[in-house]
Chain A
Amino acid sequence: MITYGSKKQLEELKKEAEKIRLSKGNIIGDTIVSDIFNNAEKLAHKVVRQGSYSVNWTTKTDNILTSKILGYPIMLLLLSTVFWITITGANMPSEIIATVLFGFQDVLTRWFIMIDAPNWLHGVLVLGLYRALAWVVSVMLPPMAIFFPLFTLLEDLGYLPRVAFNLDHLFRKANACGKQSLTMCMGFGCNAAGVVSCRIIDSPREKLIAILTNNFVPCNGRFPTLIAIGTIFGAGAVSQGYQSLAIAGIITILILLGVGTTFLVSWVLSRTILRGETSSMVLELPPYRRPKIGSVIYRSIIDRTIFVLRRAILVAAPAGAITWMLGNIFIVDLSLIGHVAHFLHPIAHSIGLDGFILMAFILGLPANEIILPILIMSYISSGHMLEFDNLVDLRNLLVDNGWTWLTAVNTMLFSLLHWPCATSLLTILKETGSKKWTIMAFIIPTTIAFTLCFIVTQIAHFLFI
């Protein structure tokens, strides 16, 4: 057995080193760092030749993208262009996927009839499980498979650090870190991933602020829901040609509202429970690089498709089956869902929703993707409509169940601001290692969502009714 000296010997060694270190005026560490760099510098001078190089694209691009006048407008324009492309591009594939998948539902139904399967089995498996799956895939997949490649392109181009550079000043006013904007960008994909990415923030206080507010960026599971509801209720107001522009506008406003909430909450947190001064920030601005467009798009489409399909199978499908059962088990003359919705109705009504919507949000805790399918299924099980395969049908279903533009606005607001999904909460628990902060991460958005929806509803009632 080989042993390398005792702990005591190591302590002595440490003391000796400490003595030498302090005898030199405690600058030996700095000298070591400088010496390493001096070696690197000498070596680099020996082997690197810089030819004459007139056009510096990075400088030229930065002159525009981070300029005083154009910096912010371009950022906004890029953001809304990404949304516009996503919304316009997603329409058609969404419809095609819906047609195919819901067409197959009829085939499935025929098979079930052929083998003389009991009604409840057909209900659970086809009307519940399969339909939820089909909905999630057709509504979620196309926007995400368009949004993410675009976003990844911006990332690959090197634009995202510039967003942090542009916005740092604002974040600092909220005593937070500019790098929080990068974690928010990650949040578009998945808030759990956004929370994990907060590791890039050095100061523990600012990291915690970024973790607690990441939820105000709509993730993969909420973003398409916002688009769908925005499309149904927002675009009807303008003429055909400008519809997707109008929706892009609505979505941009919603995102800005989320960003605004992030600033506000960060500001309040850093003046109350997370009081403290802004710490330093060192941000590298790498040169712009031409992305390999083909492979970036290919990779991120594949990546998103797998992500959405996985979530659809793991979460949406079982949730669909369970919801169907809850909607078809009757106690007295009301289904279980009906009872719950009835119970929630008064509180939901005060914030401009109805009992079914609030219940869908509650049942959607495991994953935001399933909120819309649960809602649709609960409406269907309580009503009589069965045919259902596109956004027009969805509009009719919602209107039949008493939706107005106010319901739509509140649903979108609630979706944007409400509690994080279970996965995000677990991630927050893991990253912060604290139950207290995890609970705060639940309470803060929930309070904001309820309060804002309440105010909007009451003002609307006061003005219009």
Chain B
Amino acid sequence: MQILNHSQMLQEYFGIVKKPDQLIIALAGNLNVGKSTLFNSLTGLRQHTGNWPGKTVDNAQGSFSYRDKNFLMIDLPGTYSILAHTAEEEVARDFICFGHPDVTVIVLDATSLERNLNLALQVMEITSRLVICVNLIDEAKKKKISIDFITLEKELGVPVVATAARQGIGLNSLKESIYQVAIGSRELNPTQIKYSMEVENAVLKLLPQIEKFRFDKLFNPRWVALRLLDGDEKFIRNITLHLNSQSRWAVTREAEIAL
């Protein structure tokens, strides 16, 4: 079995070609939250579209630089959830989970934060390398909605940035936060969803079995347990598929971490 590095893994399993110095950013969010506007204003004309391997779902990629780093941003399909019931959700979920982006940015709609936080909380179970971008703050202001961003950031445990992408407001802070998370200079401690007792008990019952697989460095075992309990057939199928890629890549990853 051939050993892979991150670029090779991304290319082979996700059809994404990155330059050696580029850091990978995944851009996720609900539909109608101005995600494409944000993507366009960050990457400008340096974009191209492709297709996810084996899926009829578009894949837009764009690049930008900030300070001394170059970034390749992957615009994931807009979804309400990543519990994966549609091809779009599956693509978004698999990329965040198996593609190991350096940073995942979740775009939320300030005017319906409650529903949008649903997605954010789901993603926070998978990865901790997150930036939460609360977009459309101008619309929220018009609707007299005020958001306490300091408390929100404290509660979430990851950087929160307020933006109005159409007006270009907050884009620099967003880049700064992405940069900090990418180079690891921010302490990240994403809050975890508190489930009802019955769910927690079921997770506890399943965890010892999952820990046998020793993939705790790749995925959050708790999250894997939840997916299994949810009876998520697609995830179970995909984890089988990706375990191969993940183990081929893990060797390089372990070596990199050791250095």
Chain A residues engaging chain B, CB cutoff 8 angstroms: 1-5, 7, 9-10, 12-14, 16-18, 20-21, 24, 26, 28-29, 31-33, 35-37, 39-41, 43-44, 46-53, 196, 199, 202, 284, 286-287, 289, 292, 430-431
Contact = CB atoms under 8 A, between A and B. Distances in A.
B257 interface: no
A211 B66 CA distance: 43
B193 A39 contact: yes
Question: Which 10 A-B pairs give the minimum distances between C-beta atoms?
Answer: A51-B144, A17-B228, A44-B114, A40-B117, A53-B144, A286-B32, A5-B213, A47-B148, A40-B118, A47-B152
6 contacts: A4-B246, A5-B214, A35-B193, A37-B118, A44-B117, A53-B143
Contact of B117 (A32, A33, A43, A53): A43
A234 to B, nearest CB: 39
Interface of B: 1, 31-32, 56-57, 83, 86-87, 111, 113-115, 117-118, 120-122, 139, 143-149, 151-152, 155-156, 166, 193-196, 198-199, 202, 205-206, 209-210, 212-215, 218, 225-226, 228-231, 236, 239-240, 243, 246-247, 250-251, 254
B166 A16 contact: no
B251 A40 contact: no
Given A48-B113, A287-B111, A4 B199 contact: no
B147 A48 contact: yes
B3 to A, nearest CB: 8
Given A31-B199, A35-B195, A14 B228 contact: yes
A44 B147 CA distance: 9
Contact of B247 (A3, A10, A13, A31): A3
A40 B143 CA distance: 21
Residue of A18, A32, A51 most packed against chain B (CB within 10 A): A32
Given A13-B228, A40-B115, 15 more contacts: A2-B251, A4-B247, A10-B239, A31-B198, A35-B199, A37-B118, A39-B121, A39-B193, A47-B149, A48-B114, A49-B145, A51-B144, A53-B143, A199-B57, A284-B31
A51 B152 CA distance: 18
A9 B145 contact: no
B230 A28 contact: yes
Given A21-B231, A48-B147, A31 B195 contact: yes
B155 A1 contact: no
Contact of B144 (A35, A50, A196): A50
A320 to B, nearest CB: 30
Contacts of A5: 212-214, 243
Contact of A4 (B155, B214, B229): B214
A20 B210 CA distance: 14
Contact of A430 (B56, B139, B210, B240): B56
A36 B206 contact: no
Contacts of B86: 202
Contacts of A289: 139
B135 to A, nearest CB: 12
A37 B115 CA distance: 8
Given A1-B251, A5-B213, A40-B121, A32 B230 contact: yes
B231 A18 contact: yes
Contact of A47 (B147, B198, B228): B147
Contacts of A431: 56
A46 B196 CA distance: 20
B215 to A, nearest CB: 5
A345 B250 CA distance: 69
A442 to B, nearest CB: 21
Contact of A16 (B143, B148, B209, B231): B209
B83 A33 contact: yes
B131 to A, nearest CB: 17
Contacts of B149: 47
Residue of B57, B122, B205, B228 most packed against chain A (CB within 10 A): B228
Contacts of B212: 5, 9
B229 A36 contact: no
B81 to A, nearest CB: 8
A207 to B, nearest CB: 11
B144 A1 contact: no
A35 B145 contact: no
A15 to B, nearest CB: 10
